[in-house]
Amino acid sequence: MKQYVTRLLVIAAVALVAALVDGSVRGLKMPPKPDETRVPHLPPRPAGTPAPSDAAETSAPADSTGTATEDGFTPQLLAELMESPSTILIDARSDAEHRQGRIPNSFHLEPSDLGRDSAKSSLVQFLIDTAAGDPNVQFIIYCGGGDCHASRDLASQMIRYGFREDQIYMFEGGYPAWVEAGYEIQSGDPLF
């Protein structure tokens, strides 16, 4: 018995030393955590264009600094933002969920798609190029709503890989809130 305990301790010690050496070389640092409460700002509306009446009634106006508003990030606000070409929607849910139903014109991306040679590397490159080419672009990430970590994880990964933190927003209500609000959905193969 003593022999096995000794071996277990040796295994633990070897693993611990290796982990500490590896960790100190590569850095024991947590990835950045995005601010989940920030609300994206609405794009400037061309002069003379009336604001959609339903959105004006139901959504709280987001201020230009992108800070949280009273009502937070509602589906109505998202629908308004989607009218702007500077808004890019990203679905962080699983591939199966994305195919089954998604917010229209959203791309599918998972945290593990960044930083490795994945099938999504062309999409990642497209997003990087878009972010570089348009300083006003807003990436809005959503997932399954509720206690969903996929949006946060993807946002953290995007910030790590060079996307500006102030370009990334999270639609906390996610797909369920969008469906519940009665907006149209899209299904089938991913856009990219």
106 vs 190: CA distance, rounded Å? 8
Toward other proteins, which CB reaches closer, 7 or 45?
Answer: 7
Q: How far is the CB of 62 from other proteins (least distance, A)?
A: 26
How far, CA to CA in Å, does 78 sit from each of 15, 133, 157, 172?
48, 22, 22, 11
Give me the residues paired with residue 106 across strands: 89
Note whether 192 binds other proteins by CB under 8 A: no
> Is 106 among the residues that bind other proteins (CB under 8 A)?
no
Of 91, 122, 97, nearest in space to 109 by CA: 91
156 and 115 in contact (C-beta within 8 Å)?
no
141: Cα separation from own chain's centroid: 3
Q: Which of 18, 56, 132, 185 binds other proteins (CB under 8 A)?
A: 18
Q: Which of 44, 46, 64, 147 binds other proteins (CB under 8 A)?
A: 147
Q: Which residues bind other proteins (CB under 8 A)?
A: 3-4, 7-8, 11-12, 14-16, 18-20, 22-23, 26, 28-31, 93-95, 110-113, 115-116, 118, 143-144, 146-150, 152-153, 156-157, 160
